[in-house]
Amino acid sequence: MHMAGTDLGSPEADARAARGPSVLQEDAGQASAAGGPPETKAGNGGAEGAQLEQAVAVLAVSEPGAVSGLSLPAAEPAEVVALDPEALVEEFRDFDLELSKIVRLSLKRAFDVLVSGAALLLFLPLFAAIAALVKLTDGGPVFFAQRRVGRRGQTFRMLKFRSMVVDAERLRPRLEVRNESSGPVFKMRLDPRVTAIGRFLRRYSLDELPQLINVLAGEMSIVGPRPSLPSEVARYEAWQHRRFAVRPGLTCYWQVNPRRYQISFDEWMRLDLKYTDDWSLRLDLDLVLRTFKVVLLGTGT
């Protein structure tokens, strides 16, 4: 930032310094013509007069008009660079916004780490029970890992408790004609691939609990748009990619919407963009509380 100041070596200062001695000479000549005391005398008187003249000259240069009896012109004010208060306000406002955003992002990440870490410890017995039930269903793997698209288009392996049959991905093409979504995502409320224990897990969103590990690893957040499949993102329109400006989350506007399976894909994307543009810690807390209501009422599918 440029700070205004006075230049001690400016042309105005040099001009004032040059005017001082010339004014003294004019005053000295006027004094002689008026019959005043001579300025040059033999002996010490002449030396004292010269010293006095030099002292007065110094005073005249440093403090114009401060010496009585001298007719000195008023000093011209030094040029000062004017500062625009509105420009400064805008500059500091931008700085505050950037600083505020950094602080809020740090707090959001701290919230994610604290909540996910505490939840993993708290739900450890529940994890063991769910894992046993999934394993006893058909002897297949407990977890289902799937490649998803996260923040800034980076992919990661999202974890879930397996709620479908082992070869669910291979069977999906046969069910595409029954897709209930209007966009590139695949949604079926009564998906035949879901197992009996899987329906229970989905009803209370328990199959999503392993994603707390993704949150702790920094791949996801507690609150954010739901992560998408790469095949789905390949069919997104340009305006929909802005949802990847934030980390995907466990819950979001769409997740807590009571009619989420009836809204169109574009409306879903607009809800994600609304969160991307308006997110705050207060909003995150509000969505988390609304998610508890969804989980306790068992409205998931």
Per-residue pLDDT for the chain (301 aa), expressed as one digit of tens each?
A: 444 444 444 444 444 444 444 433 444 444 444 444 444 444 444 555 555 555 444 444 444 444 444 444 454 444 444 444 554 455 445 445 566 778 888 999 999 999 999 999 999 999 999 999 999 988 899 999 999 999 989 999 999 999 999 988 888 878 876 777 777 787 777 888 999 999 999 999 999 999 999 999 999 999 999 999 999 999 999 999 999 999 999 999 999 988 887 888 999 999 999 999 998 889 999 999 999 888 887 666 5
* Structure tokens belonging to residue 8: 């001690």
Q: Tell me how many helices (H) and strands (E) the chain has.
A: 11, 4
Task: Let me know if 272 is exposed, middle or buried by CB neighbors in 10 A (0-12, 13-18, 19+).
Answer: buried
Give, as one character, the DSSP assignment of residue 113. Answer: H
* Structure tokens belonging to residue 266: 């574009």
188: left (phi over 0), alpha (psi -120 to 50) or beta: beta
Compute the distance between CA of residue 216 and CA of residue 110 in angstroms, rounded to an integer.
10
Q: What is the dihedral of CA 151, 189, 185, 109, to 10 degrees?
A: 0
Evaluate if pTM is beyond 0.75.
Answer: no
- Structure-token match 């005249």, residue found: 60
3-state secondary structure of 147: strand
